[in-house]
Structure 1
Amino acid sequence: MLGTSLPQKIIELHQTARDFADEVLIPAADLHDREESFPADNVERLAKLGFMGILAPSQYGGLDLGNLALTVVLEEINRGCASTGVTLSVHNSLLSSPILHFGSQEQHARYFPRLASGEALGAYAITEPDHGSDAAAIETTCRREGDEWVLNGTKAWITNGSYADIIVTFATMDPSLRSRGISAFVIEKSMPGFSVGKKEKKLGIRGSDTVQLIFDEMRVPAQNLLGEEGQGFKIAMHTLDGGRIGIASQAIGIAQACLDEMVDFSETHEMFGRKLADNQLVSHKIAELATRLDAARLLTRRAAIMKDAGLSHSGEASMAKLNASEVANDAARMALEVLGGAGIGRQSSVERLFRDAKITEIYEGTSQIQSLVISRHVRSVRG
Structure 2
Amino acid sequence: MSSIPAWPLTDEQRQVVALCREFAANEIRPRGREVDEADVVTPTDLYGKAAEVGVTDFMIPQEYGGGGFTDVFTQCLAQEELCWGDPGIGNLVCSNGFFADPILALGTEEQKRAWLTPLTGPGSPMTALATTEPEAGSDAASIVTTARKVDGGYRINGQKAWISNAGAAELYVVFAKTDPSKRSSGVTAFLLRRDAEGLSFGQPMRKMGQRAIVCREIFFDDVFVPDEQRLGAEGQGFHGLMETFDISRVVLGAAALGAARAAYEYAHDYARTRTQFGVPIIQHQAVAFRLADMATRIESARLLVHHAARVIDSGQRATGLAAMAKLTASETAMFVTWAAVQTLGGWGYSREHPVEQWMRDVKLEEIEEGTSDIMRLVISRNL
Q: TM-score, normalised by structure 2?
A: 0.96
2:178–2:234 Cα contact (<8 Å) kept: no
In structure 2, the residue corresponding to 1:201 is in which secondary structure? coil
Secondary structure at the residue paired with 2:113?
helix
Q: Which residue of 2 aligns with 1:23?
A: 26
Give secondary structure in 2 for the equivalent of 1:190.
Answer: coil
| AA matched with 2:176 | A
Give the secondary-structure state (helix, strand or coil) at the position aligned to 1:119.
coil
Aligned to 1:217: 222
RMSD: 1.3
Partner SS state of residue 198, structure 1 = coil
Q: Say whether residues 1:78 and 2:107 are aligned partners.
A: no
Checking the alignment, whether the CA contact within 8 Å between 1:159 and 1:208 is kept in structure 2 is: yes
Counterpart of 2:111? 107
The structure 2 residue matched to 1:59, chosen from 59, 63, 74, is 63
In the TM superposition, what is the alpha-carbon distance from 1:184 to its structure 2 partner?
Answer: 0.6
Task: Give the structure 2 partner of residue 316 of structure 1.
Answer: 321
The runs of 4+ residues in structure 1 deviating greater than 3 Å are none
Secondary structure of the residue that 2:191 maps to in structure 1?
Answer: strand
In structure 1, C-alpha distance between the alignment counterparts of 2:64 and 2:177, rounded to whole Å: 32
State which of 140, 147, 166 in structure 2 corresponds to 1:142: 147
In the alignment, which of 273, 277, 286 is matched to residue 272 of structure 1?
277
- Aligned partner of residue 205 in structure 1, secondary structure: coil
Q: Quick one: distance in 2 between partners of 1:360 and 1:61? A: 30
Deviation per CA, 1:271-290: give whole Å up to 9, x if none.
11111122222111112211
DSSP-derived class of the 1:53 partner: coil
* Candidates 338, 341, 344, aligned match of 1:336: 341
- 1:29-68 paired onto structure 2 within 5 Å: 29-36=32-39, 37-65=41-69, 66-68=71-73
CA distance in 2, matches of 1:353, 1:55: 25
Per-residue CA deviation, residues 108-153 of structure 1 (Å, 9 max, x unaligned), is: 1101211122522211101001111221111100111111211001
- Percent of aligned pairs with the same residue? 36
Q: 2:95 aligns with which of 90, 94, 100?
A: 90
Q: Tell me, yes or no, if the aligned pair for 1:137 and 1:175 is still in contact at 8 Å.
A: no
C-alpha distance in structure 2 between counterparts of 1:273 and 1:123, whole Å: 53
Q: Where in structure 2 are there 5+ consecutive unaligned residues?
A: none
The 8 Å contact of residues 53 and 62 in structure 1, kept in 2 or not, is answered as: yes
Decide which moves more: 155-164 or 118-127.
118-127
Equivalent pairs, count: 377
Other-structure match for 1:254: 259
Residue 309 of structure 1: how far off its partner (Å): 2.1
Give CA-to-partner distance per residue, 1:286-312, whole Å, 9 cap, x none: 122111101111111112222222210
Q: Is the 8 A contact 1:96 1:115 kept in 2?
A: no
Q: Deviations over 1:167-192 (max 9, x none)?
A: 11111123221112111111111211
Q: Is the 8 A contact 1:39 1:83 kept in 2?
A: no
Equivalent residues of 1:55, 1:97 under 8 A apart:
no
Letter in 2 for 1:13: V
Q: Partners of 2:134 and 2:35 in 1: how far apart?
A: 26
- Code of the aligned partner of 1:53: D
